[in-house]
């Protein structure tokens, strides 16, 4: 069965960073979808951290209607990630009411209506495609497993907001990630964090701390971007220069205080964490963590396709050794379909975070990493208004 896998669409992003909202940018994907037997949407399909589900669903409907027509009678599989965990949470809650539920394995296949009302609605929109739900992942082939990848946050050494949240939960419950032995362990740490954030966004749009704007601003500062200097700064009006000077002082304080804060978190037992936030370390840390998840889920030497980190790969210039987990899992990342300005250069397709990534799995042979928007210029993929969230 020829399967196309993509992840991190984030449909409904308040920033407009979800490029598949635009018909001209989803056209290449729909053309390819018409040529495969199955499409797998690998989580963070909807952006449910920014506001009510109804807003994200409204933004997503045209995409699902177009995708359903492109597939026309073939299969669509949807799984959930951390930003749309609410799609699967009703099923997980119902499972918890069962007298003796079976173990939570690496693949549960469900009908949309048994998963959630939102997925049932999406299945209606996607008709005439046949929609199923898989959680936390799907065996695409005997040797190819696909999952969103949010479990990797439990092992990440980069202090992202997600990593800190599950780290605190793990510390409070006395269940270190080093003891995890299956999907149920990861759900026990992550699901309460996701549920709280989903509840905050249920009725109204969230603030910068939860919708990602504050995080992106902090990361831009830590990576050394965003400050004006020299002649450019002196040409600004006095009140603007004063405001920028204040922001510059705050930025310097953040940069100087960041390693101290990371050290304090490690002493508090939330780590192990590192203070490095370079793109190279983001890649390495994400791959190490996903390799750890694959080992703890017992995936062996399978190809493991994931998303979550938005970093497409492996790409031709990557070190192949980095893309092999400690137990032999062969890792592939779909990338994302979001415009993340902090990671993009002006050269089309140059950044591994360029939107439009996916993975094609044939009946045999290694899965292939594809980049469907690689030739589009930055201006062509830029949202109508500058995004604040990656």
Kindly give, in sequence order, each residue whose CB lies less than 8 Å from that of residue 281, ignoring residues fewer than 6 positions away: 158, 274
Alpha-carbon distance of 117 to 13, in angstroms, equals: 21
Task: Tell me 190's DSSP state.
Answer: H
Q: Which fold would CATH assign to domain 3-201+278-381?
A: Purple Acid Phosphatase; chain A, domain 2 (3.60.21)
Q: What is the mean pLDDT of the chain?
A: 88
Place of tokens 């922001």: 247
pLDDT at 232: 33
Q: Are 333 and 291 in contact (CB under 8 A)?
A: no
Q: Which residues of the chain have pLDDT under 50?
A: 226-241, 243, 245-246, 386-390
**CB atoms closer than 10 angstroms to residue 69:** 15
Kindly give, in sequence order, each residue whose CB lies less than 8 Å from that of residue 185, ignoring residues fewer than 6 positions away: 175, 179, 296
Task: Tell me 102's DSSP state.
Answer: P
Cα within 13 Å of Cα(223), Cβ side: 16
Is residue 98 packed enough to be buried (19+ CB in 10 Å), middle (13-18) or exposed (0-12)? exposed
CA 32 to chain centre: 22
What pTM was estimated for this model as a whole? 0.89
pLDDT at 233: 36
Alpha-carbon distance of 62 to 383, in angstroms, equals: 17
Domain boundaries, the chain: 3-201+278-381, 224-267
- Listed in sequence order, the DSSP H helices in the chain are 23-33, 53-71, 89-96, 112-115, 117-126, 161-173, 183-200, 208-211, 213-222, 230-234, 238-267, 279-296, 378-381
Q: Are 307 and 149 in contact (CB under 8 A)?
A: yes
Q: Are 176 and 161 in contact (CB under 8 A)?
A: no
β-pairing, 108-110 vs 75-79, is unpaired
pLDDT digits 0-9 by tens, 174-220: 899 999 999 999 999 988 888 877 778 777 776 655 665 556 666 56
Q: Are 76 and 69 in contact (CB under 8 A)?
A: no
SS3 for 201?
A: coil
Nearest Cα to Cα of residue 112 among 94, 124, 128? 124
């Amino acid at each position: 069965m020829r399967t196309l896998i993509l992840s991190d669409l984030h449909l409904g992003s308040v920033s407009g960073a979800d490029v598949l909202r635009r018909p001209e940018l989803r056209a290449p994907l729909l053309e390819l979808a018409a040529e495969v037997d199955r499409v797998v949407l690998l989580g963070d399909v909807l952006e449910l951290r920014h506001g009510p589900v109804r807003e994200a669903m409204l933004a997503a409907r045209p995409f699902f209607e177009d995708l359903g027509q492109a597939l026309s009678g073939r299969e669509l599989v949807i799984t959930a990630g951390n930003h749309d965990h609410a799609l699967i949470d009703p099923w997980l809650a119902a499972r918890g009411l069962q007298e003796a539920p079976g173990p939570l394995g690496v693949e549960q296949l469900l009908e949309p209506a048994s998963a959630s009302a939102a997925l049932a609605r999406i299945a209606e929109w996607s008709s005439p495609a046949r929609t199923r739900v898989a959680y936390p992942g799907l065996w695409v082939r005997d040797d190819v497993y696909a999952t969103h990848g949010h479990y990797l946050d439990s092992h990440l050494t980069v202090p992202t907001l997600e990593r800190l949240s599950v780290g605190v939960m793990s510390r409070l419950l006395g269940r270190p990630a080093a003891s995890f032995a299956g999907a149920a362990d990861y759900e026990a740490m992550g699901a309460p964090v996701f549920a709280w954030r989903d509840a905050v966004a249920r009725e109204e749009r969230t603030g910068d701390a939860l919708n990602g704007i504050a995080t992106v601003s902090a990361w831009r500062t830590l990576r050394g971007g965003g400050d004006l200097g020299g002649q450019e700064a002196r040409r600004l009006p006095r009140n603007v220069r004063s405001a920028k000077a204040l922001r510059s002082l705050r930025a310097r304080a953040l940069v100087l205080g960041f390693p101290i804060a990371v050290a304090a978190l490690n002493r508090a037992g939330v780590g192990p964490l590192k203070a490095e936030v370079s793109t190279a370390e983001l890649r390495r840390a994400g791959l190490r963590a996903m390799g750890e998840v694959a080992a703890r889920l017992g995936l062996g030497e399978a190809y493991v396709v994931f998303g979550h980190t938005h970093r497409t790969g492996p790409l031709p210039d990557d070190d192949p050794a980095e893309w092999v987990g400690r137990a032999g899992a062969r890792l592939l990342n779909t990338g994302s379909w979001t415009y993340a300005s902090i990671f993009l250069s002006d050269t089309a397709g140059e950044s591994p975070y360029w939107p439009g990534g996916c993975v094609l799995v044939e009946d045999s042979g290694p899965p292939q990493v594809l980049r469907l928007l690689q030739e589009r210029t930055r201006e062509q993929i830029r949202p109508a208004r500058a995004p604040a969230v990656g």
